[in-house]
Amino acid sequence: MKKVLFIIVLAQFLCTSLWFAGNAILGDLILKLGVSSDFLAHSTSAIQLGFILGTLFYALFSIADRFSPSLVFFISALLAALFNLGVNLTVLTPTLLLTVRFFTGFFLAGIYPIGIKIAADYYQEGLEKSLGYLVGALVLGTALPHLIKSFTLDLPWQYVTYATSVFSIVGGLLLLVLVPDGPFRTKGSSFRIMTVFEAFKNKELRSAAVGYFGHMWELYAFWTFIPLLLKNYQEHHQLEDINTSTWSFLIIGIGSLACVCSGYWSTYIGTKKLSRIILFISCCCCLISPLFFQSNSPILLLLFLFIWSFFVIADSPLFSTLVAQKAPAYIKGSVITMVNCIGFFITILSIQLIGYLLNESNQLYLFTILAIGPIIGLYFLKTKDK
């Protein structure tokens, strides 16, 4: 069983490298397309929107219930890899770039959520720990393109998308060949939107969902703008050239360790209590960020970003666990799908808001806006478990 979890985690890691492949090479794309730096927000939002509609598509047609989840995972990984390569087209335009990123996100919906389902088909106990590893794999996969970029500085930028597409295909093949359908796989119910909304009358489920929404308001906006934050800090303080790709990978990547740690800590502290603690710390990081953005010490800034990145994602597997535990069993899949869709839609709002408002004069203070989500989440998480 441990071997199965390892393969699922490895496949998730390889396939989710597609997620920020466009972000890692954005500087090159800006030069090629002649667009401004605010195109970063649009590119990230395109893949997020694709993921949202993709999850709805997979749920509405019960794809993972009607067909082998491992086969669905492989086909999705293959199609996502092909659209990812669309970034390398010689006739690339801003509209075409957003289109291929959208469809990459669409088929990522057959990777990340399906990977969680496959794990659930094998593990009925210790869900927090399993999700900790899976979300950790997502985090490390998300950070991977920045590392690839840092190692291919002397090569054409297209090699980042070549590498991530190959990784995705390999990950899909590994899961297809080595992970058959799990022993606890059962046919789920179809997606029923009104029944899902009825389920949210449960205060415990609602508090867990809103906590997750607050967490998502902060998470992807923070991840998206890390390279830009580092670049702006470097230019503002007239520092020697630093490898922003390497530091972006390390800062985002530490979140994988955070997810694994929170999965284990929850068995001692409690899932809901720990999620509140982590969300509070993350909220504090948003509010005090100006102190570090204007600091003259790069080491102090990097240390702060590592701490913030650790806590910005550590509660993700905890919220996923809470939602899964509080959702009615007969529509659990539909509830999880809806919560994920709303959560990722919220990421588009925060990314677009930061991208629209960000300028040289307000960049020190603007990211305090990200505290709004955690504050709302913490308020709703006051609901006591029955």
Q: What is the CATH number of the domain that holds 363?
A: 1.20.1250.20
**Burial degree of 235 (CB within 10 A; 0-12, 13-18, 19+):** exposed
CB of 97 closer than 8 Å to CB of 21: no
Q: Give domain status of residue 385, yes or no.
A: no
Q: pLDDT-derived band of residue 157, with 50, 70 and 90 as boundaries? A: confident
Minimal CA–CA distance to 37: which of 27, 50, 51, 22? Answer: 27
Assigned domain for 101 exists: yes
Whether residue 226 is contained in a domain is answered as yes
Residues 81-109 pLDDT 10s: 999 999 999 898 999 999 999 999 999 99
Average pLDDT, the chain: 88
Give the range among 127-141, 175-189, 312-326, 354-368 with minimum mean pLDDT: 175-189
Instruction: Report the half-sphere exposure of 68 (CA within 13 A, side-chain side).
Output: 12
Q: What is the 3-state secondary structure (H, E, C) of the chain?
A: CHHHHHHHHHHHHHHHHHCCHHHHCHHHHHHHHCCCCCHHHHHHHHHHHHHHHHHHHHHHCCHHHHCCHHHHHHHHHHHHHHHHHHHHCCCCCHHHHHHHHHHHHHHHCCCHHHHHHHHHHHCCCCHHHHHHHHHHHHHHHHHHHHHHHHHCCCCCCHHHHHHHHHHHHHHHHHHHHHCCCCCCCCCCCCCCHHHHHHHCCCHHHHHHHHHHHHHHHHHHHHHHHHHHHHHHHHHHCCCCCCCHHHHHHHHHHHHHHHHHHHHHHHHHHCHHHHHHHHHHHHHHHHHHHHHHHCCCCHHHHHHHHHHHHHHHHHCHHHHHHHHHHHCCHHHHHHHHHHHHHHHHHHHHHHHHHHHHHCCCCCCCCHHHHHHHHHHHHHHHCCCCCC
Give me 138's structure tokens.
């997502």
Q: Could you tell me which residue, 151 or 220, shows the higher pLDDT?
A: 220
Mean pLDDT of 254-279: 92
Residue 361 reports pLDDT greater than 90: no
Q: What is the pLDDT of residues 41-51, one digit of tens each?
A: 899 999 999 99
Residue 188 makes CB contacts below 8 A (sequence gap 6+) with: 62, 65, 332, 333
Q: What is the model's pLDDT at position 315? A: 93
User: Tokens 């702006």 sit at which residue?
Assistant: 232
Rounded-to-10 torsion of CA 1, 340, 278, 295: 120
Residue with tokens 């359908």: 181
Distance (Å, whole) CA 95 – CA 59: 28
What is the band of 386 on the pLDDT scale with cuts at 50, 70, 90?
A: very low
Q: What is the pLDDT of residue 189?
A: 57
Task: Give the pLDDT band (50/70/90) at residue 1.
Answer: low
| pLDDT score, position 223 | 94
| pLDDT > 70? residue 178 | yes
Residue 352 maps to a domain: yes
- Please give the average per-residue pLDDT across 247-275, as a whole number: 92
**pTM, rounded to two decimals:** 0.86
Choose between 360 and 131: higher pLDDT.
131
| Tally of domains within the chain | 1
Give me the domain span that covers residue 198. Answer: 2-180+188-380
Of 125-129, 295-299, 331-335, 362-366, highest mean pLDDT = 295-299
- Tokens for 335? 């509830």
Q: Give a yes or no: residue 29 inside a domain.
A: yes
